[in-house]
């Protein structure tokens, strides 16, 4: 991506509070603060304080020496210069990604119809700004994070295509319902594509729908036949991302998209990203990952949401038919060994 594109992605969802300079700056010390605005699903705003570069000055004691006053003035001027630079350096319409809606892109939406978990909020925000590999134990809300990302790109790119890929058809079917329940993406804008769907029907679905759930093999076929408009794809979510090694279909999809457009976001999901460093590095390289969000059952912000597991061992009898096959196999193996 170009530098302008990176600047745009990094600025999405951020809001900076502006304050007027105080007239009597010589008797004040710069105390800075920053507000981050988060507009949630119900339209309300939540503000969260964090460190920043500018803010409102507050008065201090009168007995500060001249050197401190000069330093304060210098700091104030530097902060004002940074603020002016930030405002004037906003990308113009020509530097925006194709199909991007600037008015929608000024905010990002996080749902409040579910309890807010800090780690999910942080992972969602990171995934909006960078190609992210989310490593999270099963049952802790990877699909939730994917739904937040998909919904915001759905808003930001009114004509863009959003793709969710899973390795099996049952997993694909589960995600459609989950995304609808979590973020309320209209179901008439969603489509499930399978290999059994007729070619002409698939072409029409790619033209008329916006959010697609499919296996990577189907995606590869549609890209190779130009059925899928690759330049319109703005967000790709990959479930079970640890499979993206070698020449897996996941890898083929990302390569083909990259050959036609570089303006798309990737979110990779996995509970177990790889057995060793080499395997994890393959996944990172093949999926163009630039950021990793990793949590385990022992992570402080996850522990309160991990439920104690109880394992119960159930032995199922083989049954008459399987018992016969077992006996024949054992007899055959014993006779071969005795010879």
Q: Could you tell me the residue ranges of all domains in the chain?
A: 118-304
Q: pLDDT digits over 84-142, tens only? A: 444 444 455 557 778 889 989 899 999 888 889 999 999 999 999 999 999 998 888 89
Q: Beta strands 45-50 and 34-40: pairing type? A: antiparallel
Cα–Cα–Cα angle for 157, 161, 162, nearest 5°?
Answer: 100
* CA gap 216, 275 in Å, rounded: 22
> What's the rounded mean pLDDT across residues 231-251?
95
172 CB neighbour count, 10 Å cutoff = 21
Closest of 287, 130, 42 to residue 122, by C-alpha: 130
The whole-number pLDDT of residue 80 equals 58
Residue 338 confidence (pLDDT): 65
Nearest to 241 by CA among 250, 230, 252: 250
Using CA atoms, how far apart are residues 280 and 17, in angstroms rounded to an integer?
40
Written as six digits, the tokens of 334 are 């014993």
Q: What is the pLDDT of residue 132?
A: 96
Residue with tokens 């769907």: 197
What is the spatial distance between Cα 67 and Cα 186, in angstroms, rounded to a whole number? 61
pLDDT band at 331 (very low <50, low <70, confident <90, very high): confident
Q: Please, are residues 287 and 258 in contact by the beta-carbon 8 Å criterion?
A: no
Mean pLDDT for 300-316 is: 79
Better-predicted residue by pLDDT, 83 or 241: 241
Percent of all residues in the chain with a pLDDT value above 90, rounded to a whole number? 40
CA separation for the pair 179, 190 (Å, rounded): 10
Q: Compute the distance between CA of residue 283 and CA of residue 32 in angstroms, rounded to an integer.
A: 41
pLDDT in tens, 58-83: 444 445 455 555 555 555 565 555 55
Give the mean pLDDT of 224-234. Answer: 94
Q: How far apart are CA 190 and CA 182, in angstroms?
A: 14
DSSP 18: -
Least confident range of 73-82, 229-238, 241-250, 262-271: 73-82
Mean pLDDT of 5-24: 39
Residues 6+ apart with CB under 8 A from 89: 7
Sign of CA dihedral 18, 22, 25, 30: negative
**pLDDT-based confidence at 36, cuts 50/70/90?**
very low
CA distance linking residue 128 with residue 148, whole number of Å? 9
Lowest-confidence pick of 45-49, 222-226, 321-325: 45-49
CATH class belonging to 118-304: alpha beta
Distance, CA of 117 to CA of 302 (rounded, Å): 9
Beta strands in 27-183 (DSSP E): 28-29, 34-40, 45-50, 58-59, 109-110, 132-135, 161-165
């Amino acid at each position: 991506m170009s530098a302008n594109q990176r600047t745009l992605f990094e600025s999405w969802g951020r809001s900076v509070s502006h304050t007027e300079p105080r007239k009597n700056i010589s008797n004040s010390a710069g105390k800075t603060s920053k507000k981050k605005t988060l507009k949630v699903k119900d339209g309300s705003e939540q503000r969260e304080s964090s460190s920043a570069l500018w803010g409102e000055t507050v008065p201090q004691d009168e007995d500060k020496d001249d050197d401190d006053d000069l330093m304060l003035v210098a700091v104030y001027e530097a902060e004002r210069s940074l603020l002016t630079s930030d405002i004037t350096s906003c990308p113009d319409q020509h530097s925006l990604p194709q199909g991007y809606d600037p008015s929608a892109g000024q905010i990002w939406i996080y749902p409040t119809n579910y309890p807010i978990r800090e780690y999910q909020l942080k992972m969602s925000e990171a995934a909006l700004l960078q190609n992210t590999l989310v490593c999270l134990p099963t049952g802790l809300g990877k699909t939730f994070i994917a739904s937040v990302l998909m919904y915001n790109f759905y808003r930001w790119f009114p004509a863009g295509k959003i793709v969710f890929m899973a390795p099996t058809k049952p997993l694909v079917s589960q995600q459609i319902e989950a995304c609808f329940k979590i973020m309320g993406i209209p179901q008439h804008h969603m489509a499930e594509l399978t290999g059994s769907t007729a070619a002409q029907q698939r072409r029409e679905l790619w033209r008329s729908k916006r959010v697609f759930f499919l296996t990577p093999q189907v995606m590869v076929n549609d890209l190779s036949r130009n059925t899928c408009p690759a330049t319109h794809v703005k967000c790709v979510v990959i479930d079970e991302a640890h499979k993206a090694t070698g020449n897996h279909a996941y890898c083929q999809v990302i390569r083909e998209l990259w050959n036609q457009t570089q303006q798309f976001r990737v979110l990779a999901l996995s509970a177990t990203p790889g057995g060793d460093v080499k395997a994890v590095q393959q996944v990172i390289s093949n999926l163009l990952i630039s950021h990793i969000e990793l949590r385990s059952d022992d992570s402080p912000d996850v522990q309160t949401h991990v439920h104690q597991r109880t394992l119960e061992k159930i032995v199922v009898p083989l049954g008459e038919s399987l018992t016969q096959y077992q006996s024949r196999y054992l007899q055959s193996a014993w006779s071969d060994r005795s010879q």
